[in-house]
Structure 1
Amino acid sequence: MMNASPTRRTELLAAGAATVTVVLWASAFVSIRSAGSEYSPGALALGRLLVGAVVLGGICLVRREGLPPRAAWPGIAISGLLWFGFYSVVLNWGEQQVDAGTAALVVNIGPILIALLGARLLGDPMPPRLLAGMAVSFAGAVTVGLSMSGGGGSSVLGVVLCLLAAVGYAGGVVAQKPALGHASALQVTTYGCLVGAVLCLPFAGQLIGDAADASLSATLNLVYLGVFSLALAFTTWAYALARTTASSMGATTYAVPALVVLMSWLALGEVPGPLTLAGGALCLAGVAVSRSRTRSARVVAAAPQPEQTRESA
């Protein structure tokens, strides 16, 4: 049996890394429900970033990664400000103003913004299958959001905050992509996390006060958010993003709502209704379509590469 081609192996590794990210980001919603009830939005964001920075910094020291090259710093700084810092605080704040369904609805315009910005700023291709898959997944996200909306639990401020979170998320992802051409996934994630933590330092007083009064369960959930859904998940995300387009990675995150529904069912006993299940199925179907390739593309990828001649010119 022939070994997989280097290109195919890279695709499989990137897909595996993206899967780890999506699963851990979905699990974060369950943890945020616990930690967010006892930690204020800024304190939760700072605590999570500090934990993540300690873990990532330790790994960088062990691996002797060093500082990223100068060319990577603009992307690291922008992604750290917009995604690690701004997005974290604004989303936590927004989810206190609106119900979970409305938050999911608004934030899920993020992958669409990523596709548009990626095409405009990075030259990402927009194949029909990607667009069709995103349309199906967005319809699923809308369905999940409507099924979870509590009716009357929304506010204009909350919707605006969630919209700002989506914009920050999209801008951070698009800024991160070029940085990954100059630095490793670990470096980009570590220093982006540090930039976000510095941005959130004004919430240090709130974090100290909340930590003193919080239950052990809430604090453990905060630690989980920093170690797994930030340090590990953002690193696997950066690894996958370095090997594919921002648009494709953004479309992959549409699997998160479906996994959140499943995890809430298993971990919290929140039984989803038929509309929620249908929306989750649409999200997964759209991701499958967006990540699929045409038959001709599969044939080209599977075709053996011509061997290079060993004769010198």
Structure 2
Amino acid sequence: MNFPLLQAKKQGEARYHLGLLLTTTIWASTFINIKIVLLQVPPNTLAFLRFVIASLALGFYIKYKGYPLIPRKDWPRVALCGLTGIALYNFLQNQGLRYAGSTDAAILASMAPVFMALLAWAYLKEKISSRQVAGIIMAFTGSALVATKGSLESLTLNPTQLFGDSLILITGISWAIYSTSVKKLLDRYPVTSVLAYCTFAGTIFLAPLVLLEYPVNLAAVDLWDWLNIVYLGLMASALAYLLWNAGLAKVPAVTAGAYLYLLPVIAAVIAAIFLQETPGFFTIAGGLLALVGTYFASK
């Protein structure tokens, strides 16, 4: 039997698949970090601080390594990527998590690969095989099972929850636009240069949103929350985005997007380890279905 990573190894792509898996794992862990920090830091300010840290780290790194600059003719695309993948995505995610129920939010967030597949097909002319379509459906179904625990009772919406759910759904569209747009830059420039410039642009777009929450008493933020913010900046932003872009540069957008279906599965595993939440039947069954679906979608 040919497993995806073994098959990818023959094509020199195994490390990119591993990178996408690590990225998904890091992002799954941020659900806990963000929930903790939002108790003391407003959502817009959190997003801005997170990417200021990422910008500083990436700026020093590309300067030290001497990575090439991106010419002005491509700055509009850089701005689009920074707006959609950094500013808009994180603004909508942080705001949406204030109102959305965790169950339906997890389902809606896992719609991002569907939007990625459609945009990749329409914009990047990437072909989608019937096997990949089947994998996408299986992975989404498994993700939904994990999120709902096999019950749809918690999906009853009120206006406030509907507002939050709408914001979460738009994050999927925003991420799909970013992932398809950034591939054009990755074809021309090094992954690190592209990420640094997009992060700079996204941080600039986030800056005015902080004024909506002014004043913020950052002196009251304790050490543990600052460590979480640093983790979000260095690991979940700089490193994870770098691995994501590296994967996008080498594999189709549909394949990379399939890994996002593992988010609720990995989040459930993390919760079981750190929060002592025992996974139930539907969590296990949905997780297996999502893994099998991701296998087919990545072929």
Structure 2 letter corresponding to 1:186: T
Q: Which residue in the other structure is 2:23 paired with?
A: 21
- Shift in Å at residue 153 of structure 1? 7.4
Q: Indicate if the aligned counterparts of 1:42 and 1:200 stay in contact, CA closer than 8 A.
A: yes
Distance 1:38 1:182, change over 3 A: same
Distance 1:43 1:228, change over 3 A: same
Q: Indicate if the aligned counterparts of 1:39 and 1:207 stay in contact, CA closer than 8 A.
A: no
2:178 pairs with one of 172, 176, 196: 172
Q: Percent identity?
A: 27
Q: Indicate if the aligned counterparts of 2:262 and 2:291 stay in contact, CA closer than 8 A.
A: yes
Cα RMSD of the aligned pairs, angstroms, is 2.3
Structure 2 letter corresponding to 1:291: S
Q: Which residue in the other structure is 1:68 paired with?
A: 70
1:282 aligns with 2:292: no
1:256 aligns with 2:258: no
Q: Which residue in the other structure is 2:228 paired with?
A: 221
- Shift in Å at residue 135 of structure 1? 0.6
Which stretch of the first structure deviates more once superposed, 117-126 or 93-102?
93-102
Distance 1:178 1:250, change over 3 A: same
In structure 1, stretches of 5+ residues that fail to align are 293-313
1:238 aligns with 2:245: yes
Q: Indicate if the aligned counterparts of 1:72 and 1:180 stay in contact, CA closer than 8 A.
A: no
1:55 pairs with one of 54, 57, 79: 57
Q: Indicate if the aligned counterparts of 1:47 and 1:207 stay in contact, CA closer than 8 A.
A: no
Q: Distance in 2 between matches of 1:275 and 1:92?
A: 27
Q: Distance in 2 between matches of 1:224 and 1:7?
A: 30
Q: Which residue in the other structure is 1:307 paired with?
A: none
- Shift in Å at residue 278 of structure 1? 1.9
Q: Indicate if the aligned counterparts of 1:141 and 1:254 stay in contact, CA closer than 8 A.
A: yes
Distance 1:6 1:272, change over 3 A: closer
Q: Which residue in the other structure is 1:299 paired with?
A: none
- Shift in Å at residue 70 of structure 1? 4.4
Q: Distance in 2 between matches of 1:59 and 1:168?
A: 27
Distance 1:116 1:6, change over 3 A: closer
Q: Which residue in the other structure is 1:197 paired with?
A: 203
SS of the aligned residue for 2:127 comes to coil
- Shift in Å at residue 113 of structure 1? 0.5
Q: Indicate if the aligned counterparts of 2:254 and 2:297 stay in contact, CA closer than 8 A.
A: no
Q: Distance in 2 between matches of 1:223 and 1:150?
A: 37
**Cα-to-partner distance string for 1:51-92 (whole Å, 9 max, x where unaligned):** 111111111111111312445434322111011110101111
Distance 1:210 1:130, change over 3 A: farther
Distance 1:210 1:281, change over 3 A: farther
Structure 1 letter corresponding to 2:236: S
Structure-1-length-normalised TM-score:
0.86
Distance 1:6 1:62, change over 3 A: farther
- Shift in Å at residue 27 of structure 1? 1.7
Distance 1:105 1:6, change over 3 A: closer
- Shift in Å at residue 33 of structure 1? 2.0
Q: Indicate if the aligned counterparts of 2:258 and 2:294 stay in contact, CA closer than 8 A.
A: yes
- Shift in Å at residue 222 of structure 1? 1.2
Q: Which residue in the other structure is 1:158 paired with?
A: 164
2:193 pairs with one of 171, 187, 191: 187
1:289-304 equivalences in 2 (<5 Å): 289-292=296-299
Structure 1 letter corresponding to 2:140: F
Structure 1 letter corresponding to 2:228: N
1:247 aligns with 2:254: yes
Please tell me whether Structure 1 or Structure 2 has the larger radius of gyration of its CA atoms. 1
**Cα-to-partner distance string for 1:204-255 (whole Å, 9 max, x where unaligned):** 4548725222222222111101100110010011111101111111112212
Q: Which residue in the other structure is 2:127 paired with?
A: 125
Q: Indicate if the aligned counterparts of 1:82 and 1:172 stay in contact, CA closer than 8 A.
A: yes
Q: Distance in 2 between matches of 1:126 and 1:75?
A: 25
- Shift in Å at residue 16 of structure 1? 2.2
Q: Which residue in the other structure is 2:114 paired with?
A: 112
- Shift in Å at residue 32 of structure 1? 1.5
Q: Which residue in the other structure is 2:100 paired with?
A: 98
Q: Distance in 1 between matches of 2:8 and 2:70?
A: 26
The count of corresponding residues between Structure 1 and Structure 2 is 289
Q: Which residue in the other structure is 1:305 paired with?
A: none
Structure-2-length-normalised TM-score:
0.89
Q: Distance in 2 between matches of 1:207 and 1:180?
A: 37
Distance 1:215 1:175, change over 3 A: same
Distance 1:33 1:290, change over 3 A: same
Q: Distance in 1 between matches of 2:119 and 2:98?
A: 28
